[in-house]
Structure 1
Amino acid sequence: MEKHVNSEELVKLQIKFGGQTIPLSMNLNSTIADLKLLLKSSTNVLPRGQKLIHKGNVLEDSKTLKASNITNGSKIMLMASQGLHQGEGPKIKNAPVVSNYQKIVEKINKDKVKFGAPVAVNKTRIERWKIIGVIGLSESQLKAIPDEVWDCGSSARVLDLSKNSISEISVKISCMKNLQKLILNANDISDDSISWQGLNELKGLTYLCLSQNCLTNLPAALGALTSLEQLLVAGNKLESLPIEFGQLTKLQILKVNNNRISTLPSCIGDCSALIEVDISSNLLVELPETFGNLQNLKALHLSNNGLKSLPSTLFKKCVKLSTLDLHETEITMDMLREVEGWEEFDERRRLKYQKQLDFRAGGSAAFDEGADKN
């Protein structure tokens, strides 16, 4: 016979979900709706997406645990409706009340992360990754990529490993042949720890983010990623771009700011699809004349460089250019006025910022995007 528990006592429950058990404690006067709300933080499943079953009966939100015949030690099954979740989807994590054994297991798992051992990934999450094609492991304290990630293979479309401590991207990345978006910013990736041979198998890759890592060089193999539309490598220690960079003819967004680049290859002019280029905070003293070939260019960020001039055809040929940031360069207003096509560029800039200019006292329309006016 079960021990009687009055309404003022806590009862210990065992919630069965995703092949695991979530232990927690609640007052018998709490409602099933209260229980679902508590489970939301433990599972990521929204209350309206939860179905709780006890002894074959679906529990009603309005009833208390006591009225639902819940007793100490009761086992309740949680079924989650697909799509009714928050964050990265259904997850399993320990509820507030856990056993000493569970605390030991949790510490072991944390130590695995700390010392770089492979991290086990919940089976339910792997299945979800395969279904939706999105693998989200940002800020997961990883030092290595879990093997379960590679198990997703060609079903993966997006892989987000940002803000971890990952130091190696192995050739195994080649198994993700349908990957479109690869996010690796804010890790510990260096020149020798990333397999460009593996990356070159990702023929459909359109977005690659390697910002805030430890790269000093981009290899010639970069040119093989001909489907790239966005390349973000800001905040590294890059000194140059490879000649093969010109093969990226579909590239629209290039961000290489906050590096140590002193020269750009003339082949950058072959990247005719470029819309926005950010080369600010580098060591540039000039730009190649081929910049004038970028006829789709709309925004060019050049601040904090040693530039003393601009390509002679920049304003004349780049007929869509309307944003130009020259803060902390040696280019003056007098220099800009001498560049052919300046008037047309200035008109485009005025039109773009018309609302801001109209708002200013006196209606000043002077060029104020960084050129030295003195």
Structure 2
Amino acid sequence: MGNCLDTCLPKQGDPRTRPYVQLQQQNTWSKTGIAGLRDQGLKELPQALADIASTLRVLDASNNRLQQLPSFVATLTALQRLVLAGNQLTIAPPPEACANLSSLKVLVLDDNLLSELPAEVGRLGRLERLSLRNNRLRSLPDSLGALGALQSLAVSANQLASLPEQLGECGRLEELDAQGNELESIPASLERLKRLKTLQLDNNRIHAVPSQVLYGCTALQTLSLHGCPIKPDDLQETPGFKEFDERRKSKYNKAIAGGALLGSRGLDEGVDRQVAQQSPGRRG
């Protein structure tokens, strides 16, 4: 007689092993609070996540084929990090979920098909990092100003024509990356961002920087406007530029003293000496 272990147990890859594998996976999620679902070709999130809603802290379902999020996302009240980059989402997070995701600190939605961000995103009161790179956004909701804990906002490679004035209410914001859009101006309200250190606006249509921003953003050390039609001489003659320039040079000198490698540009002026007549926005 043959060994029953060889003939009775399902072989690896047999459909009969799936319930066991799924249960084992769910137990792991429950114990660690982390669900890793990257690169699995998923069209929807597994319902099993709802069963561990009270303990799930991190959900990473990047590089799948998700087109929408299920309603049970609203039950993930312990979730702190939600990473959904590289999917096919057209709107996220679900408006009805925002009020319940009260623990969320990191939301990454890069490389999707987002054409809008729901106004309810302003209810994510503990959100510290919001990344929306490479989507189809034409505007941002005014409600972003309610994100009092926000430290980093990345909206590069979209189709934004403007930034909401209400961003000036995000008092803890330190980094704002809006490269590769269609921005023609910088909101003067950003002057209220006393912690803002980095403002990246390369490859937009910006011709000037408000003096209020140069004066008011007292922590600003990096202002990048490469690929914009702003003229270096005009920037340097803007009131407040001298104060900003001193902070920029101080940062550079500290980096040199610490042995940091700063690349081929060295002390980057933040603008191009040879400015084209019209700078393109986001790539087509």
TM range (shorter): 0.7 to 0.9
Q: Shift of the alpha carbon at 1:368?
A: 3.1
Q: Shift of the alpha carbon at 1:230?
A: 0.5
Q: What TM-score results when the alignment is normalised by the length of structure 1? A: 0.66
Question: In 2, distance between residues paired with 1:120 and 1:299?
Answer: 49
Contact 2:211–2:240 (8 Å) recurs in 1: no
RMSD of equivalent CA atoms: 2.9
Q: Does 1:263 find its partner at 2:162?
A: yes
Q: Shift of the alpha carbon at 1:185?
A: 0.9
Q: What TM-score results when the alignment is normalised by the length of structure 2? A: 0.85
Consecutive unaligned residues of structure 2, counting only runs of 5 or more, are 276-284
Question: In 2, distance between residues paired with 1:194 and 1:341?
Answer: 39
Which of 184, 187, 205 is the aligned partner of 2:84?
184
Partner of 1:280: 179
Name the amino acid aligned to 2:164: P
User: Any idea what the Cα deviations from partners look like across 1:121-161, whole Å, max 9, x if unmatched?
Assistant: 52122111111111111111111111112211111011111
Q: Shift of the alpha carbon at 1:13?
A: 11
Name the amino acid aligned to 2:66: I
Which of 263, 269, 273 is the aligned partner of 1:368?
269
Which of 222, 232, 241 is the aligned partner of 1:333?
232
Contact 2:98–2:123 (8 Å) recurs in 1: no
Where is the strand percentage greater, Structure 1 or Structure 2?
1
Q: Does 1:216 find its partner at 2:115?
A: yes
Q: Shift of the alpha carbon at 1:175?
A: 1.3
Q: Does 1:349 find its partner at 2:270?
A: no
Matches within 5 A, 1:112-127: 122-127=22-27
Question: In 2, distance between residues paired with 1:150 and 1:309?
Answer: 49
Question: In 1, distance between residues paired with 2:246 and 2:266?
Answer: 10
Contact 1:330–1:372 (8 Å) recurs in 2: no
Cα gap change, 1:367/1:144 in structure 2, threshold over 3 Å: closer, same or farther? closer
Name the amino acid aligned to 1:314: V
Cα gap change, 1:153/1:341 in structure 2, threshold over 3 Å: closer, same or farther? same
Question: In 2, distance between residues paired with 1:366 and 1:211?
Answer: 30
Consecutive unaligned residues of structure 1, counting only runs of 5 or more, are 3-11, 24-93, 95-101, 110-118
Question: In 2, distance between residues paired with 1:296 and 1:207?
Answer: 19
Cα gap change, 1:339/1:173 in structure 2, threshold over 3 Å: closer, same or farther? same
Q: Does 1:160 find its partner at 2:160?
A: no
Partner of 1:324: 223
Q: Shift of the alpha carbon at 1:371?
A: 3.6
Contact 1:171–1:199 (8 Å) recurs in 2: no
Partner of 1:237: 136
Partner of 2:278: none
Name the amino acid aligned to 1:140: Q
Which of 293, 314, 320 is the aligned partner of 2:192?
293
Question: In 1, distance between residues paired with 2:158 and 2:273?
Answer: 24
Partner of 1:249: 148
Question: In 1, distance between residues paired with 2:32 and 2:161?
Answer: 42
Q: Shift of the alpha carbon at 1:201?
A: 0.9
Q: Shift of the alpha carbon at 1:224?
A: 1.0
Name the amino acid aligned to 2:101: L
Question: In 1, distance between residues paired with 2:187 and 2:4?
Answer: 69
SS in 2 for 1:135: strand
Cα gap change, 1:366/1:180 in structure 2, threshold over 3 Å: closer, same or farther? closer
Cα gap change, 1:327/1:162 in structure 2, threshold over 3 Å: closer, same or farther? same
Name the amino acid aligned to 1:214: L
Which of 141, 145, 158 is the aligned partner of 2:45?
145
Question: In 1, distance between residues paired with 2:274 and 2:260?
Answer: 22
User: Any idea what the Cα deviations from partners look like across 1:54-82, whole Å, max 9, x if unmatched?
Assistant: xxxxxxxxxxxxxxxxxxxxxxxxxxxxx
Contact 1:252–1:274 (8 Å) recurs in 2: yes
SS in 1 for 2:130: strand
Name the amino acid aligned to 2:60: D
Question: In 2, distance between residues paired with 1:194 and 1:365?
Answer: 40
Cα gap change, 1:121/1:272 in structure 2, threshold over 3 Å: closer, same or farther? farther
SS in 1 for 2:181: coil
Contact 1:170–1:198 (8 Å) recurs in 2: no
Name the amino acid aligned to 1:288: P
Name the amino acid aligned to 1:269: G
Cα gap change, 1:372/1:198 in structure 2, threshold over 3 Å: closer, same or farther? same
SS in 2 for 1:222: helix
SS in 2 for 1:277: strand
Contact 1:165–1:188 (8 Å) recurs in 2: yes
User: Any idea what the Cα deviations from partners look like across 1:182-229, whole Å, max 9, x if unmatched?
Assistant: 1111111113x7522023211111111111111111121111111111
SS in 2 for 1:313: helix
Q: Shift of the alpha carbon at 1:171?
A: 1.7
Cα gap change, 1:346/1:14 in structure 2, threshold over 3 Å: closer, same or farther? farther
Identity of aligned residues (%): 32
Question: In 2, distance between residues paired with 1:321 and 1:278?
Answer: 13
Larger RCO: 1 or 2 (CA < 8 Å, sep 6+): 2
